[in-house]
């Protein structure tokens, strides 16, 4: 995917139960891998959809005292005014666009691809969708925020996804990425995309994680955006 791709293992994949005519590319959160989310999607799979859960490269994370861990980009802080790793975010986004291009070469049109992620991965999925010229089938943004938000709307002026459908979900008891981040993000998204295509769901008592109700909402969103053909 990028210059250090040799050190990044191949994505965890849940193959389609029949011929794949659509795909979901889902990005895990900080310090995680794609394996757990691949297992989660195996539990809600749609027969014609292939699920691709890539692994982030290992890199030092300022927020965690410089410790090295799987991370799409550096996180300096979690405050709304924290400095951001602009170069790292943009490079990671280019890597994800290359992954989308690879699926297009494999025969799945970009408009039949839903991009998504959790926490840091959700942030990257939003940024990528809003800055790519690849028309996507939708975005699933879980427990996350919009990175480099002050670069918009300029950053999205060439985007093919101003009409994209977004399912944004957040736990009301999230201590790491407070639900207020989700509220601020959805309000920003409504200025960049068609507001009627954006759905924001919150889940009482859910911390920085997923829950069965959320997973069913994701399943229904994917089935609606990527119907059988």
174 in catalytic set: yes
Q: How would you class 192 by CB atoms within 10 Å of its CB: exposed for 0-12, middle for 13-18, buried for 19 or more?
A: buried
Q: Which of 151, 208, 209, 217 is catalytic?
A: 208
Predicted pLDDT at 85: 97
208 in catalytic set: yes
Predicted pLDDT at 157: 79
Predicted pLDDT at 7: 64
pLDDT digits (tens, 9 = 90+) for 95-121: 999 999 999 999 999 999 999 999 999
Angstrom distance (rounded) from CA 125 to CA 217 = 18
Domains of the chain: 22-225 (3.40.50.1820)
Predicted pLDDT at 3: 43
Q: Which of 32, 74, 85, 174 is catalytic?
A: 174
**Is residue 22 a contact partner of residue 49, using CB atoms and an 8 Å limit?**
yes
Predicted pLDDT at 4: 44
3-state SS of the chain?
CCCCHHHCCCCEEECCCCCCCEEEEEECCCCCCCHHHHHHHHCCCCCCEEEEECCCCEEEEHHHCCEEEECCCCECCCCCCCCECHHHHHHHHHHHHHHHHHHHHCCCCHHHEEEEEECHHHHHHHHHHHHCCCCCCEEEEECCCCCCHHHCCHHHCCCCCCCCCEEEEEECCCCCCCHHHHHHHHHHHHHHCCHHHEEEEEECCCCCCCCHHHHHHHHHHHHHHCCCC
Output the CA–CA distances (angstroms, integers) from residue 17 to 27, 39, 110, 160, 182, in the order listed: 22, 15, 20, 30, 34
Q: Both ends of the chain: CA-CA distance in Å?
A: 29
Predicted pLDDT at 148: 95
119 in catalytic set: yes
Q: Which of 110, 119, 125, 156 is catalytic?
A: 119
Of 190, 138, 127, nearest to 164 (Cα)?
A: 138
Phi, psi of 167 (to 5 degrees): -105, 115
Of 190, 225, 207, nearest to 115 (Cα)?
A: 225
> Which tokens is 124 given?
């990257």
Q: What is the pLDDT along the chain (229 residues), one digit of tens a residue?
A: 444 444 678 999 999 999 999 999 999 999 999 999 999 999 999 999 999 999 999 999 999 999 999 999 999 998 888 999 999 999 999 999 999 999 999 999 999 999 999 999 999 999 999 999 999 999 999 999 999 999 988 878 778 898 999 999 999 999 999 999 999 999 999 999 999 999 999 999 999 999 999 999 999 999 999 999 9
Predicted pLDDT at 154: 82
């Amino acid at each position: 995917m990028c210059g250090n791709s040799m050190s990044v293992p191949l994505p965890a994949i849940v193959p389609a139960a029949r011929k794949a005519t659509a795909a979901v590319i889902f990005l895990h959160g900080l310090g995680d891998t794609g394996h757990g989310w691949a297992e989660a999607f195996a539990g809600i799979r749609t027969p014609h959809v292939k699920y691709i859960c890539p692994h982030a490269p290992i890199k030092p994370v300022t927020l965690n005292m410089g410790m090295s861990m799987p991370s799409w980009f550096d996180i300096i802080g979690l405050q709304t005014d924290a400095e951001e790793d602009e170069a790292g975010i943009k490079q990671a986004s280019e890597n994800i666009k290359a992954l989308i291009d690879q699926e297009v070469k494999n025969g799945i049109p970009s408009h039949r691809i839903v991009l998504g992620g959790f926490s840091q991965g959700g942030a990257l999925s939003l940024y990528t969708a809003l800055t790519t010229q690849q028309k996507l089938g939708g975005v699933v943004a879980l427990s996350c925020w919009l990175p480099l938000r002050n670069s918009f709307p300029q950053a999205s002026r060439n985007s093919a996804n101003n009409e994209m459908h977004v399912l944004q979900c957040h736990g009301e008891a999230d201590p790491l990425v407070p639900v207020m981040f989700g509220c601020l993000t959805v309000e920003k998204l409504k200025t960049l995309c068609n507001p009627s295509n954006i759905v924001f769901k919150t889940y009482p008592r859910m911390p920085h994680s997923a829950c069965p109700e959320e997973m069913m909402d994701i399943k229904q969103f994917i089935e609606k955006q990527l119907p059988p053909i």
